[in-house]
Amino acid sequence: MIDSRADIHPSAELDSSVEVGPFSVIGPNVRIGAGTRVGPHVVINGPTEIGRDNRIFQFSSIGEEPQDTSYRGEPTRLVIGDRNVIRESVTLSRGTAKGLGETVIGHDNLIMAYVHIAHDCTIGSEIIFSNATSLAGHVEIHDKATLGGFTLVHQFCRVGTFAFTSMGSALNRDLPPYCLASGNYARLIGINKVGLRRNGFSDVAIQGLHRVFIRGMRGRAGRESHLDAMLAETDIPEVRDLIHFVQGSRRGILRGGRQH
């Protein structure tokens, strides 16, 4: 299961079912769970923990030192869950001591070629990162978001659940859940209606989210009072999630654009 041309450090802990391709290098303090397949020419450094049934394609760099000038060799780590697909030339960095101390990636994510996930990012599950998406440090991406090709996300920004970005989007503020964003710099353009319908959201929930977008997110004037009023009058979980996300934003949300 491990190619004779691979270089595995004696302290690395690999389940007996792990596959490693030729010329891959796995360093110390690396743990890899059952069923994970590591292709050729992959470098994995530690401390890094990788769960079960992941597939890591050629030329990826996993668990390397963070690209942060404050880093001084502290034993920070990268944690990857189960069933992720990590395509060619992806780079995933460990955390920093001044940040969370770890970069965390959940389960069932599709991370396409040339994606970069920087130090101290927190990544949920069932997310699609299209080709060449790049996340700066300390970014949060919530479950089931989709980031279009060449999306850029500024440090400390958050992207909510079921959010969607078009290709080439550059996010310098938070993208709320269930919303669409596009442009450089990105602007909110509406609710992700197509994605929500495909995932079984009710018309009532989608209409409620649309009302929040129209009344409480396209402009700044009276936003807080509009959101408070809508929160008081709704029992739709998705609507409440959207309002709480906006109200809890420390970086501010993206500016609103046209109605979608």
Task: Please indicate whether residue 119 is annotated as part of the active site.
Answer: yes
The residue from 21, 99, 120, 142 that is catalytic is: 120
How far apart CA 53 and CA 148 sit, in angstroms, is 25
The residue from 33, 95, 107, 119 that is catalytic is: 119
DSSP 213: I
Q: Contact at 8 Å (CB) between 203 and 186?
A: no
What are the residues whose beta carbons fall under 8 Å from the beta carbon of 142, sequence distance 6 or more? 124, 158, 159, 160, 161, 163, 177
Residue 11 Ramachandran class (φ > 0 left, ψ -120 to 50 alpha, else beta): alpha
Task: Please indicate whether residue 41 is annotated as part of the active site.
Answer: no
How far apart CA 226 and CA 212 sit, in angstroms, is 8
Task: Please indicate whether residue 226 is annotated as part of the active site.
Answer: no
The residue from 21, 27, 39, 137 that is catalytic is: 137
How far apart CA 118 and CA 116 sit, in angstroms, is 6
**In this structure, which long-range contacts are made by residues 133-139, counting pairs with CB atoms below 8 Å and at least 24 apart in sequence?**
137/66, 137/68, 137/96, 137/99, 138/99, 138/100
The set of catalytic residues is 119-120, 137
